[in-house]
Amino acid sequence: MTSPGGPAPFASAGEGPNASTGVLLSHGFTGSTVSMLGWARHLAGQGYAVSLPLLPGHGTTWQELARTPWQRWYQGYEDAYTELAGRTDRVVAAGLSMGGALALRLAALQPVAGVAVVNPGLTVADPRARYAGLLKYVLPSVPAIGNSIRLPGQDEGAYARTPVGAVAQLLKLFKDTAGLLPRVNVPVIAFRSTVDPIVPESSMDLLRRLVGSTELEVVPLTNSYHVATMDHDAQLIFDRSHEFIQRVSAGATA
């Protein structure tokens, strides 16, 4: 098992009967693995083989993120999938926010057993975001979007500033992923905060409307904001995702 904490990758080899199932996790935009460590460690404790990569452009500086195209974020996630799939019988894709979009995109392009997402991002609320590709030349960064957490004392390790150029890349990722949603035909569980200041409800509307899966379960989170993996409802996410992974793993071997 790697990474005691901080913005670094985490991996667990798995043990016992669940070791043949891999779970691939992704953090969100401008965030880091810190937001997902609790979830990753819980699943590793259940015996799953777990991989939580630090996405390119993240965990360093916002200026580096501004120089990193969205394809590299996805490639970092898919590379981790390739490694995990090579040592397990099946993989469940999971992610928070933008990481949810990456998980859904992976499910459209690679054979996974299921998808578990938390407040998945597919749209952006701020109408100014559509002009980010031009605004980046006059406004390189804006205030941070991190730490949308109801539970006091939490810090997800996000950047102090949000690079506007990266917002333009985020929109391209969302558009690309939305176009692939009809190809996602495996079970999906989506955890959705009833109060989320970051990802608008239009993201969930898009998921419901376009996803190709006949099985989409939405679990409401009534006591958490956006980064629910570090909030009051974290244990609910951990427990319900474990049940989901058990079920889709059994289905994959049936």
What residues are labeled active site? 97, 196, 226
Sequence-distant (6+) residues with CB within 8 A of 129 are: 167, 170, 171
Among candidates 98, 11, 39, which has minimal Cα distance to 242? 39
Among candidates 218, 215, 166, which has minimal Cα distance to 190? 218
Q: Using an 8 Å Cβ cutoff, are 180 and 108 in contact? A: yes
Strand ranges (DSSP E) for 63-168? 90-96, 114-118, 141-143, 161-163
Sequence-distant (6+) residues with CB within 8 A of 209 are: none
Cα(15)–Cα(43) distance, integer angstroms:
11
Cα(173)–Cα(254) distance, integer angstroms:
34
Cα(208)–Cα(210) distance, integer angstroms:
6
Cα(158)–Cα(54) distance, integer angstroms:
12
Tokens of residue 227, six digits: 């980064």
Sequence-distant (6+) residues with CB within 8 A of 179 are: none
Among candidates 163, 171, 197, which has minimal Cα distance to 58? 163
